[in-house]
Structure 1
């Protein structure tokens, strides 16, 4: 894994956040599993989440963090019931505490002028909004794992 000079701001090194509408290779998600986040409803969200994945898979790769092979098989049992393009769905064994990948996942920066490191991941040091929603130790290391 390549790193950049962290004594400087990424902007000063030529990096920028891509706009949300820019073309990108994939969307990262984490499969929902924390029942406390979906009280009395977690079983109800799986079909809709699978449909969301199916829609994304029609135009890009969908990379899903799961704890293990068992969770992957469980997720696939819902995704396979949709019209998802399964060749676009990839699973990564990155255990998470919760499913909010937009919060704990990788944030990519781009630099078209840096041929050695045109894309880097910012690892913010996720702490579940100041420790408000523990545990978060698995979520905190997701960007590092993805970077590796």
Structure 2
């Protein structure tokens, strides 16, 4: 473990809870609300088997009614708060360690570069702190736009991100790449930032969040999405991404252990638009990996086996997220891990 004064923990380090923002009729989930709720219930059940579950919603009685019926084994913390949508990864609290103490960083969420309303979601982290749902030092970082799905940390001073997202003009357009990198280094105690310049999934509204493409894992490992199908529209971009990943080296100057995840077969919406299905959008919990699947049994199982290579001590739990990609996200996107140290006693 690093002894650096400021540190952004890796997702595979122990944590105490996972946050969900519950879907409701006033979100874009309305046309498929029942299916979305069913998916969230499955995610909630998997979380509650080993960690505290945090649920935020405009009316917490709705998720409470559903989850009470499941008789979940661990505690559930609820907070009534207005929400625009359900993508907790991108507006939820990002917790760092400073001098051994947790600091709850509240970055600005502007709807992925002003694409969608975010005024309510942008207030949720502060509301969680004000309500006592989270305890610890609150750090107002609202002058900088940053989504949790856009960054990957190894907990040892290396952060991986994509240039397409963090250099988007509608996020922090007044800042140069060097300025953004220095900001990230100062806030997260980083030694270096790995910028991924290639890779994009059709239907992705996030400008290529890293958690749809490539994920850091223990033992200097990177799991990434790839395809050998030259007829797939993603082939060229993903191949360029693969080549760039092969050029990345660890802090000690060694190549990363690269493990390729399959690209799911193309999934389309009712208008014929391709949806951003990806196996990289998994959640790392203390003992389990919650992995999205898309009703493609052979590829779903292959992806689970591959993820198990990187996380041999974890159980891989497959959850059907076919409905989530209808709103252009997946399992990691709707969750945010929370350390034990900032939970209420």
Same fold (TM over 0.5): yes
Q: Aligned to 2:28, which of 25, 37, 41?
A: 37
Aligned in 2, Cα 1:146/1:15: closer, same or farther, shift over 3 Å?
Answer: farther
Greater relative contact order: 1 or 2 (C-alpha under 8 angstroms, separation 6 or more)?
Answer: 1
Is the strand fraction higher in 1 or 2?
Answer: 2
Report matched runs for 1:48-87 at 5 Å.
Answer: 48-67=39-58, 71-85=59-73, 87=74
Aligned partner of 2:119 in structure 1 is 137
Supply the distance in 1 between the matched residues of 2:92 and 2:25 (Cα, whole angstroms): 16
CA distance in 2, matches of 1:95, 1:35: 10
Q: CA deviation at 1:128?
A: 0.5
Distance 2:82 2:122 in 1: 10
Is 1:123 matched up with 2:106? yes
Q: 1:59 to 1:107 in 2, by over 3 A?
A: same
Matches within 5 A, 1:99-118: 99-111=86-98, 113-114=99-100, 118=101
- What SS does structure 1 have at the residue aligned with 2:7? coil
Quote the residue 2:141 is aligned against: none
Q: CA deviation at 1:95?
A: 1.7
Q: CA RMSD in A?
A: 1.9
1:98-137 deviations in Å (ceiling 9; x for gaps): 11111111111123x34xxx11111111101121002x11
Check 1:23–1:124 CA distance in 2 against 1; reply closer, same or farther (3 A cut). Answer: same
Kept in 1: contact 2:91–2:124 (CA 8 A)? yes
Q: Distance in 2 between matches of 1:147 and 1:77?
A: 25
Provide structure 1 residue ranges, at least 5 long, that are not aligned to the other structure: 1-12
What is the CA-CA distance between 1:141 and the residue it aligns to? 1.1
**Compared CA separation, residues 131 and 65, structure 1 to 2 (3 A):** same
Partner of 2:128: 146
The structure whose Rg is larger is 2
> 1:119 and 1:60 mapped to 2: Cα distance?
19
Question: Could you say which structure has the higher helix fraction?
Answer: 1
Aligned residues: 127
